[in-house]
Amino acid sequence: MAQEVRDLVKRYYPDFPIRHCGKIYRDTTEFMNISYGDVIFIDGLHYMVLRDEVERRFGIEDPKYWVKRCRLLETGERKIVKLVFYEEFQMKLGHTEILCHRSPQKEARILDLVRGDMRFMQGVSFQDDVDNNMRVLDLIRGRSLDHEVYGIEQDHETYFRESFPVILEKFIGASEAIGFLHSHGEKHGDVRRDHIWVESKTKKYRWIDFDYTYDFYQNPFALDLFGLGNILVFIVGKVDCTVGTMSEMGFTKDDIGKLSPDDFSIIFQHRLVNLRKIYPYIPEKLNNVMLHFSLGSDVYYDTVDEMLDDLRPCLDILGD
């Protein structure tokens, strides 16, 4: 460890044990080797690695070894540093397979596009000494939308009448943000409810993680739209309504027997979309928006604006 870095650690991070100071990395290609106590040198500044970030989904922790939680030694600020990691996989939309892949360069473009727009995470990109694209991100203090909704301790009808209208209004704003990306020829690429973070102080909805993209030439924004549909169904239902969860919630076999495959999601075919069948107080107009994302639909939204044209009027009828 260079004396300069040892001095920075002593000054800005006096509680950090000097014996754990590791290497300085100017080439981040082998990101698996960069760990606790190492320092990433970026544009003249030193980022000490504290840990790898972890994604929590469905009760499972999935380490993201290319995403480092860091401390900027010169200022003491906490930052997230995303390093280059390429992967690709196929996703099914009905009977169509779509190639999805990571693009650090695309995420860097979006960070430039949304700078100062607090509907999105904020950050800047740099190149390391061998031209790997690194993105340095500001932390968002808060929690993901799914945890925000799960934390509301109300039965569904009370939730729907009292809490949901505010959530829907903010979701419409978040959808407008995705429409903004599309209007500039960009897509989010991985629209999920845990990629909306609810800021603790402001309660603003903010999108994170822009490094996925996909190739779907029939409609380049289709997966983003279906992602918004999945989030809408979740916030209306308060949980993912599956046959299993409906049984746990007290719905009878007769209730479940009235459902058909067409009532479920075109992407996640175990998730109920036609929620009015189990919650009759959901307005038909709102339910019809969700049905555009069901297996039984003949008509799908082509743009975010089309969805919002149907969704905005639902705010006026909630609580009726």
Domain ranges, residue 72: 3-83
**129 in any annotated domain:** no
Tell me the C-alpha distance between 293 and 287, whole Å.
Answer: 10
- In total, the chain counts a number of residues equal to 320
Q: Is residue 131 situated within a structural domain?
A: no
Both 234 and 159 in one domain: the answer is yes
Query: DSSP letter at 43?
Result: T
- Do 149 and 35 share a structural domain? no
CATH code for the domain in which residue 313 is found? 1.10.510.10
pTM of the model: 0.92
Position 185 in a domain? yes
Tell me, yes or no, whether 133 lies in a domain.
Answer: no
Longest CA span, the chain: 72
CA distances from 248 to 94, 138, 244 (A): 28, 40, 6
Q: Which residue has tokens 């290609």?
A: 29
- How many CB atoms are closer than 10 A to CB 52? 17
At residue 5, the pLDDT reads 72
- DSSP at 180: H
Domain boundary, last residue among 83, 104, 125: 83
pLDDT in tens, the chain (320 residues): 567 777 778 888 888 888 888 889 999 999 999 999 999 999 999 999 999 998 776 556 678 999 999 999 999 999 999 999 998 887 766 677 788 889 999 999 999 999 999 999 999 999 999 999 999 999 999 999 999 999 999 999 999 999 999 999 999 999 999 999 999 999 999 999 999 999 999 999 999 999 998 887 778 898 999 999 999 999 999 999 998 888 888 888 888 889 999 999 988 889 999 999 999 999 999 999 999 999 999 889 999 999 999 999 999 988 65
Measured between alpha carbons, how far is residue 230 from residues 129, 212, 286 in Å?
Answer: 41, 17, 14
- Shared domain for 223 and 152, answered yes or no, is yes
Is the same domain home to 164 and 48? no
User: Tell me, what DSSP letter sits at residue 120?
Assistant: B
pLDDT for the residue 79: 97
Quote the tokens at residue 281.
């107080």
Per-residue pLDDT at 312: 96
Q: Does 107 reside within a domain?
A: no
Among 29, 25, 64, which residue's Cα sits nearest to residue 47? 25
Q: Report the CATH number that the domain containing residue 55 is assigned in CATH.
A: 2.30.30
Last residue of a domain, one of 46, 63, 83: 83
Specify whether 67 is located in the same domain as 148: no
Same domain? For 152 and 280 the reply is: yes
Where is the domain boundary, 37, 59, 83?
83
Q: Is residue 175 part of a domain?
A: yes
300 and 167 co-located in one domain:
yes
Q: How many domains does the chain have?
A: 2
User: Which pLDDT value is given to residue 278?
Assistant: 94
CB proximity list for 18: less than 8 A, separation 6 or greater: 6, 9, 10
CA atoms within 13 A on the CB side of 67: 14
- Same domain? 58 vs 162: no
Residue-level pLDDT at 186: 96
